[in-house]
Amino acid sequence: MFIELMPSFTLDDKLCSAVASATVVPKHITIQLYIKLLIWLKMSPAIRGQRIQDQPVIDFQGCFMLFKKEKKKLALKRMLNFNVPPVKNSTGEPVWKVLIYDRFGQDIISPLLSVKELRDMGITLHLLLHSDRDAIPDVPAVYFVMPTEENIDRMCQDLRNQLYESYYLNFISAISRSKLEDIANAAIGANAVTQVAKVFDQYLNFITLEDDMFVLCNQNKELVSYRAINRPDITDTEMETIMDTIVDSLFCFFVTLGAIPIIRCSRGTAAEMVAVKLDKKLRENLRDARNSLFTGDTLGAGQFSFQRPLLVLVDRNIDLATPLHHTWTYQALVHDVLDFHLNRVNLEESAGTESTPAGARPKKKNKKSYDLKVAESVQQELESYRAQEDEVKRLKSIMGIEGEDEGAISMLSDNTAKLTSAVSSLPELLEKKRLIDLHTNVATAVLEHIKSRKLDVYFEYEEKIMSKSTLDKSLLDMISDPDAGTPEDKMRLFLIYYISSAQAPSEIDLEQYKKALMDAGCNLAPLSYIKQWKAFTKMASAPTSYGNATPKPLGLFSRVMNTGSQFVMEGVKNLVLKQQNLPVTRILDNLMEMKSNPETDDYRYFDPKMLRGSDSSVPRNKNPFQEAIVFVVGGGNYIEYQNLIDYVKGKQGKHVLYGCSELFNATQFIKQLSQLGQK
C-alpha cells in the first residue's frame, strides 16, 4: 500500500514528508516514475555524494503474506541446523560446519539466504560438491544436493576419503532405495557408518524468487522448456519424463506449503497431463497414512487458512502474446533488457570518460553484479534516515552548538544521550542510502535501452494492438523505421500483431510484412512456428482477448514524476499504465470467484482428498477461494506475475502465488520459437 497525494503538491517539504511516510514502493511502478523518484532522492543533501562501494543486497518485498517464502527459509535454516529447529535469540555460538551443495542447491539457497545469514547459522565455508575440496577432518559437513548418480558417486568418494568429521546428507527431492543402498555400501566400505549422522529428503525442489513467486528449475531448464514440450518430434517417453519432472517439483512445493490443493486445468493440454499426474501422486501419498507428508505437524503448520488453496494449471499456449510484449514496469523491464538472473542483475559500466591515448588498448568496461530482490521500500529507508538526521539538526540547534566539535557536544548533560544515539545511527542510515544509488544505476541502465530502442513507442503501439484500439501509424512504417528498435523488437511487434488478429493477414499483405522484416534483418523462423500454432489451436478461431484497458489512477510516483526534473527522461514518453486483466488473470478470476464463463466452464476439477478421482468439470466446492496458486506449464514471465499482483490488490483478504516451469524474457522465448520454427 502506498499513499496518494493531492494534485496540488509539488516537490516541497510536504512531498518530502509524504514520501518519507509511504510504506512500500510497488514493483509494478513505471520505469520513468521510478527514475524520477530516485533522482529526487539523490538530489537530497543527505544523499548527495554517496556512491556504491561494494555489492549490497536490495530486497524487493512482495505486498502481502510471507507464508510461502518464510516457510522455505525456515526449512533451509532447519536443515542447516542439523535438521533441528533453530533456537531464537540464542546467545551461544552456533556449531561451525561446512555446506556442500550442487548447482541445484546453490540456485535454491542463493535467492533466500545471504552469506551473512549462512555465517549466522554456523556455515564457515560453502563449496560446490564437484569442486576440488581439501579434507577438514574435525568439522561436520551438511550436504544439500539432488540425488543423481553423479552426485551419489562423489558423496561416496568423500566418505572413502574421510573428508569430514560427520556427514548430514540432505536430498533436494526424494532419493530412491537403490541409491540409498549405494551410500550405505560406501559407508561400510570406508568404515564410516557412524560418521553418517542423518539422511533426509527435504522436498525443496523449487526456487523461490519472491514472497509470491516461484519457478521450478534453473539448471537444465531446457528439459522442461516451452520448446521441449511443443517439439513436433517429441516421443511419448520424453513427454512422460518432462511431466514427471514438473510434477515432482510441484509435489515438493505443496509438501513445503503443507496444503492439499483443489486442482483445475484446461483439457487437452500439457497442463492436463500435469494435473492428472499430480492428483495421482498426492492421492497416493495421502493413502499411505503412516508415511504421508501431509499429516500431523506438517499439515497443521502449513495451512495458511481454514480453506484449502486452489491450484490453477494453465498451458503457455493459451497466451503467446504476453511473453513477447514490451513492458513498462520496473521489474519486468530489468528482466527484459538487462542480464537479470535469480534476482541478480549484471551491468556493464564504462571505465570512465578520459580519452584513450592513440595506439593504447581501449579501457575495458567494468562488470558489476547486484542482488536485486527487487524493491524494498525506498521510502522506508528515507523515513528512518530523515527522521534521525532531523533529530540531530534539531538538537544541535536547540543547544546552540551547530558547527561545534564532538568534544563540546559530549560535555552536555540531558540531551547528550539523545544526540549521541542519533549520531551513532547515522553511519547505518547512510549505508542504507547506498541502496538508492544502486537502484539508480540499474534504472539508468534500463533507461538507456528505452531511449536507444524506443521501447516506449513499442509498448504504446503493442498496447493498442492488444486492446484493439485505433493505430496512429501503420505496422509497415513501424517495421521499416531504421531508428526504432532492434530486429528482435520488430519481430516481437509483428508476432503480437499476428497472434492478436482475429483474422490472419492475406497472403499478399503477409509477403509485404515478411519483406519488410527481412529488410530489417529479422529471422523469420519464429513466424513459421506461430503460423503453425495458430492453424492448429482453438486460438485461430477465438483469439485471446485482452479486454478494454482503463487508465490506472495516478499515485504517489506519478505525481513525483509529473512535478520533478525532466532532464533524465528527455526523449521518453510519459506513458500512463492501463489496468487490464491478462488471459491468465482472467482465468484465475473466473475459477477463484466461481464465475460461469465459457472460457473456463470446461476446466477439469481434481480433489486429491476424494477417495475416487473423476473426470468432472463441476466443482464440488461452491464457495469462492481465498488463496490460489497459478502455475504456467511451459514458462512464465514477470508481466503476468505483476498483473496478478495488481489484480489481487483489489481483492481484500485474497492471496495469489505465481509459479512457472521456467522464467524467461522475450529474447529467450523468441529463441525457443525460432528453434521450433526451424523444425
Average pLDDT of the residues in 505-527: 93
Which pLDDT belongs to residue 294?
A: 84
CA dihedral 587, 592, 598, 603 (to 10 degrees): 80
State the chain's mean pLDDT as an integer. Answer: 78
Compute the average pLDDT of residues 430-444.
Answer: 74
Flag whether pLDDT at 563 surpasses 50: no
Domains of the chain: 68-204 (3.40.50.2060), 208-319+582-677 (3.40.50.1910), 455-539 (1.25.40)
Q: Which three cell numbers stand for residue 527?
A: 513466424
> How far is residue 426's CA from residue 428's CA, in Å, rounded to a whole number?
5
Highest mean pLDDT among 111-120, 438-447, 547-556: 111-120
Per-residue model confidence as pLDDT tens digits over 7-53? 323 333 343 443 444 434 445 555 555 555 554 444 443 333 332 22
Q: How many CB atoms lie within 10 A of CB 600?
A: 18
> Above 50 in pLDDT, residue 299?
no
pLDDT tens-digit map of 148-200: 999 999 999 999 999 999 999 999 999 999 999 999 999 999 999 999 999 99
- Give the total residue count for the chain: 679
For residues 233-237, average pLDDT: 94
- As a whole number of Å, the CA-based R_g of the chain is 28
- What percentage of the chain carries pLDDT values higher than 70? 68
The pLDDT value given to residue 440: 77
Distances (CA, A) of 221 to 152, 225, 227, 354, 663: 22, 6, 11, 43, 9
The cell numbers describing 170, all together, are 540432505
**Band of the pLDDT at 540, cuts 50, 70, 90?**
very low
Helix (H, G, I), strand (E, B) or coil at 249: helix
| pLDDT average, residue stretch 241-262 | 94
Please give the average per-residue pLDDT across 668-672, as a whole number. 96
Q: What is the pLDDT of residue 402?
A: 57
At residue 4, the pLDDT reads 28
551: region left, alpha or beta (phi > 0 left; psi from -120 to 50 alpha): beta
Average pLDDT over residues 601-619: 80
DSSP 157-202: HHHHHT-BS-EEEEESSPPPHHHHHHHHHHHHHTT-GGGEEEEEE-
Cβ contact 622:176 at 8 Å: no
pLDDT bracket for residue 55 (50, 70, 90) = very low
Given a cut of 70, is residue 414 above it in pLDDT?
no
| Type of residue found at 457 | V
State the DSSP string of 292-347.
-TTSTHHHHHH-SSSSPPEEEEEEGGG-SSGGG----BHHHHHHHHSEEETTEEEE
Under the banding of pLDDT at 50, 70 and 90, the label for residue 368 is low
Question: What's the grid cell of residue 336?
Answer: 527484459
Q: What was the pLDDT predicted at 431?
A: 61
Residue 31: what pLDDT? Answer: 55
pLDDT class of 87 with cuts at 50, 70, 90:
confident
What is the per-residue pLDDT for 429?
A: 63
Q: Is the pTM of this model over 0.75?
A: yes
Residues 591 and 266 sit within 8 Å (Cβ to Cβ): no
Q: For residues 377-389, give the mean pLDDT.
A: 55
The residue-averaged pLDDT of 321-346 equals 90
Residue 643 confidence (pLDDT) above 90: yes
Among 251-265, 517-531, 536-550, 585-599, whose mean pLDDT is lowest? 536-550
From residue 225, alpha-carbon distances to 217, 277, 312, 535, 664 in Å are 10, 18, 19, 22, 9
Q: Higher model confidence: residue 533 or residue 621?
A: 533
Res 234: pLDDT: 93
What pLDDT does residue 562 have? 40
Segment among 321-325, 386-390, 646-650 with least mean pLDDT: 386-390
